[in-house]
Chains A and B, each alone.
Chain A
Amino acid sequence: MPNCGCETETMSHQILQYALSGLSTGAIYSLIGIGFAIIYNSTGIINFAQGEFVMLGGMMTYFFLSLLRLPMLAAMCLSILLTTAVGVVFERLAIRPLRNANPLSLVIITIGGSILIRGIAMLQFGKDTHSIPAFSSNEPLVIADATILPQNLWILGITFLIIAANRYFFYHTINGKAMRACSHNRRAASLVGIGVKRMVLISFAISSALGSIAGIITAPLTMTSYDVGIMLGLKGFCAAIIGGMSSGVGTVFGGLLLGIFESLGAGLISSGYKDAIAFIILLLILFIRPQGLFRKAETERV
């Protein structure tokens, strides 16, 4: 076999490309997953409307850019603000009035909310897919024969920045510490004078802002339409589960692992099973390590 050496060489290049592709999609999953984790930790519910915040971020930016012709930065800030407002209103109207309901009914309410938001977005923005321009050049960067787009680096960079900011917020500010206290023991927290309801509201505000940021930074690559939230939301949820619902490094690793497994699975096994691989991982984690990959059974959540 004269060409044996070159075959293995192409193989290793391929694997490098799979890994890079996986890292870049994984970073998107991580960012969405963190939004799930923050709300879960302060309220105990899984907010299935998280994917819709992602959609709103991307779609609103597109509309501010194309209809109102705002500059890029203004369009992005405005859509983050508006999505955050939607998150806050959602908490006020759908979650707070039912605070004594059990978590399961609240989860179902978030599903209802997500269908409502998606429907309104469809009526307002139409059913077309849209794309927004990349933040910097569109020319791929070559790393040892594998390529990555500058936008992927933006996504990775912004994701890590947000994680650092989260870490600072939860460990070094009064509000952040108060939210951690709520996640440990809501009753004890309210006894020492923490406004639990306010913390829940803040958690919705933060995660809807994070969701919209995820939607904005990924829209140049993945494009956006009124229904992108469903699949991205599910993948983000997988990432959060793998990471044990931590709002920090755990979920980030969860997302990156998921991205890499998907990409390797599609490349080396079969592309038809790409989504199946994600959900098989999810099921395995739920069966074997329901507390997540990176967590001892009983530790703090935030």
Chain B
Amino acid sequence: MERRVSLLLTVVMVLVCSSAACAAPPIRIGGLFAVTGPASFLGEPERNTLEMMAREINGKGGINGSRIELFVYDTQGDATKAVQLATKLIRNDKVVAIIGPSTTGETLAVIGVAEKEKVPLISCAAGIKITQPVRKWIFKTPANDHVAAEKIFNHMAKRRQKKIALLTVSDSYGASGREQLKELAARRGFSLAADEVYSPKDTDMTPQLTKIRGAKPDAIICWGTNPGPAVVTRNVKQLGIKIPLYQSHGVASKKYIELSGADAAEGITLPAGKLAVYEILPKKEPQLKTLREYDQAYRKAFGVEASTFGGYAYDGLQLVVGAIRKSGATPDRIRAGIEQTRNMVGVSGVFNMSAADHNGLDLSAFEMVRISKGDWVLAH
């Protein structure tokens, strides 16, 4: 009996060790994404990207000879689930770093867990509250909304547009944008002619735009994600409003032009993440190669174009992998490694982390683009 057991054990050992995994223990990395539910447009490309990259890295022999082992869970966009799953990732799966969650609400909820258990968390959500104030174990890859807002204000200042009207969506993206736009307007001496909102499922914004037209602003800034901004764009054309319209980086995709119609979208200006417009970027752009490779790999694997959101997970894993290569695969070494990241070319921008900045992106993360004949052109 005893011999049989030991024989069995030997066979198992031989089987396990014949795979490359036996060379070094795998590196366990967690992912928390809203793959289903209302935020699935974020979570799905994030999960896809993470799995695609892990396959690629493992195919090339892993990191310093160790395979990456992914543990990805679906939070369904629910903060309570995110907290439970984060605890599970740390306690049961023993991950050394977590990438995600997808939304700001979920991230704020899991910050406590990551801080207490001392595991680095690289959020894929944009909310400014995630990295301000800076917390030791918490990082994020998307640029802050106010960076995009600042790009718009710079553009307006050059054109002497001083009196602005806001039209923002009444969800967390729009509310955060509205807060930061108002704060920036006050700080930079712009006056606010109108401050209107719409709800995410509204199908007609002509009342708000009629009111805005009455207030005679120099420019209108709309802050939302599809389909609302497309409705606004169509309504602006319908009402014959000639005031320049700015959109946020939330609609920087061809889908927005398609929904608005090339005709109505003509001349709209917006700050875009570079992935959406890499084809028109100048040749000397440092991110160009990364963006093209990511987009092409994603198209090949999933048959659709890569999205900025998937890019957040891409950058997250790049940060972790870079830190492991440099410093080692324990949570505190990874944390220190990420904090020392300099000039890492990612999808969302070029990252320069420091103890005082756990996002590491600046104004160069966005490019001001204008829509002309149904396509992007650089706006100067």
Interface residues of chain A, those whose CB is within 8 Å of chain B, are 10-11, 14, 17-18, 21-22, 24-25, 28, 127-131, 138, 140, 142, 147, 149, 218, 221-223, 225, 227-228, 230-232, 262-264, 266-267, 271-272, 274-275
- Could you tell me the distance in whole angstroms from the C-beta of B340 to the nearest C-beta in chain A? 39
Check B227 against A267 for contact (C-beta < 8 Å): no
Q: What is the total number of residues of chain B having a CB less than 8 Å from a CB of chain A?
A: 31
Check A225 against B227 for contact (C-beta < 8 Å): yes
Q: Which of B196, B234, B237 contacts A271 (CB 8 A)?
A: B196
Task: With a 10 A CB-CB cut-off, give which of A21, A218, A232, A272 has the most chain B CB atoms.
Answer: A21
Interface string of B252-268 (1 = CB under 8 A from A): 00010011010100000
Check A21 against B214 for contact (C-beta < 8 Å): no
Of all chain A residues, the one with the shortest Cβ separation from B204 is A25
Q: Which of A129, A138, A149, A271 contacts B227 (CB 8 A)?
A: A129
Check B199 against A274 for contact (C-beta < 8 Å): yes
Q: Which of B202, B210, B240 contacts A274 (CB 8 A)?
A: B202
Check B210 against A129 for contact (C-beta < 8 Å): no
Check B259 against A14 for contact (C-beta < 8 Å): no
Check A263 against B207 for contact (C-beta < 8 Å): yes
Interface string of B185-215 (1 = CB under 8 A from A): 0000000000011110111101110110010
- With A10-B214, A14-B210, A129-B227 known, 17 other A-B pairs at CB within 8 A are A21-B204, A21-B206, A21-B210, A22-B207, A28-B203, A129-B230, A130-B259, A140-B237, A140-B240, A147-B240, A149-B238, A223-B230, A227-B201, A266-B208, A271-B207, A271-B211, A272-B197
Of all chain A residues, the one with the shortest Cβ separation from B208 is A271
Which residues of chain A are within 8 angstroms of B206 by Cβ–Cβ distance?
A: 17, 21, 263
- Could you tell me the distance in whole angstroms from the C-beta of A242 to the nearest C-beta in chain B? 19
Check B210 against A267 for contact (C-beta < 8 Å): yes
Check A138 against B207 for contact (C-beta < 8 Å): no
- Could you tell me the distance in whole angstroms from the C-beta of B255 to the nearest C-beta in chain A? 7
> Cα distance A262–B206 when bound, in Å?
11
Check B204 against A24 for contact (C-beta < 8 Å): yes
Interface residues of chain B, those whose CB is within 8 Å of chain A, are 40-41, 170, 196-199, 201-204, 206-208, 210-211, 214, 226-227, 230-231, 234, 237-240, 255, 258-259, 261, 263
> Cα distance A222–B232 when bound, in Å?
11
Check A223 against B227 for contact (C-beta < 8 Å): yes
CB<8 Å pairs between A and B, sample of 6: A11-B214, A142-B240, A222-B203, A223-B203, A263-B207, A272-B170
Of all chain B residues, the one with the shortest Cβ separation from A21 is B206
Which residues of chain A are within 8 angstroms of B41 by Cβ–Cβ distance?
A: 127
Check A147 against B259 for contact (C-beta < 8 Å): no
* A14-B214, A271-B198, A272-B197 as given contacts; A128 in contact with B208, CB under 8 Å: no
> Cα distance A22–B261 when bound, in Å?
23
- Could you tell me the distance in whole angstroms from the C-beta of B14 to the nearest C-beta in chain A? 43
Which residues of chain A are within 8 angstroms of B259 by Cβ–Cβ distance?
A: 129-131, 223
